[in-house]
């Protein structure tokens, strides 16, 4: 079975809710900058973006399944195959930084 590039089955994702109830999806293992300090995020309004996990976790709370259901459907509809997780382990952060470093080196050569 050919799976399009956008369909990455290992897209570990966390859903968080801002104080106003807006839900943000965070891919803690996917870098959004060349150092891997920021990770990929997605919201209904604004869609793809970059976020600092330490800031996001301090300013949000875990979203409930009923809160993130619409955003999960939107993300799935655009081609992602998210695996919902609830904690960011150090290895995910290390992986994000490794990917950013090696991706940047490949683009520079």
* 8 contacts: CB under 8 Å, gap ≥ 6: 80, 81
* In the predicted structure, residue 9 carries a pLDDT above the cut 60: no
Q: What are the φ/ψ torsions at residue 87 (nearest 5 degrees)?
A: -130, 150
Q: Which of 11-15, 25-29, 53-57, 58-62 has the highest mean pLDDT?
A: 58-62
Q: pLDDT by residue (tens digit) across 77-91?
A: 988 888 899 988 788
13: confidence class by pLDDT, cuts 50, 70, 90? very high
CB 62 within 8 A of CB 30: no
Whole-angstrom distance, CA of residue 99 vs CA of residue 93: 10
What is the reported pTM? Answer: 0.79
């Amino acid at each position: 079975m050919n799976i399009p590039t956008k369909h990455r089955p290992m897209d570990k994702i966390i859903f968080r809710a801002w104080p106003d109830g807006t839900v943000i999806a965070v891919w803690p293992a996917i870098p959004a900058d060349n150092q891997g300090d920021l990770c990929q995020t997605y919201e209904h309004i604004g869609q793809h973006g970059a976020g600092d996990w330490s800031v996001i976790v301090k300013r949000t709370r875990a979203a409930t399944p009923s809160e993130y259901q619409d955003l999960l459907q939107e993300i799935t509809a655009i081609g992602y195959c998210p695996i919902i997780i609830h904690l960011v382990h150090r290895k995910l952060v290390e992986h994000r930084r490794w990917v950013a470093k090696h991706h940047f080196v490949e683009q520079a050569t």
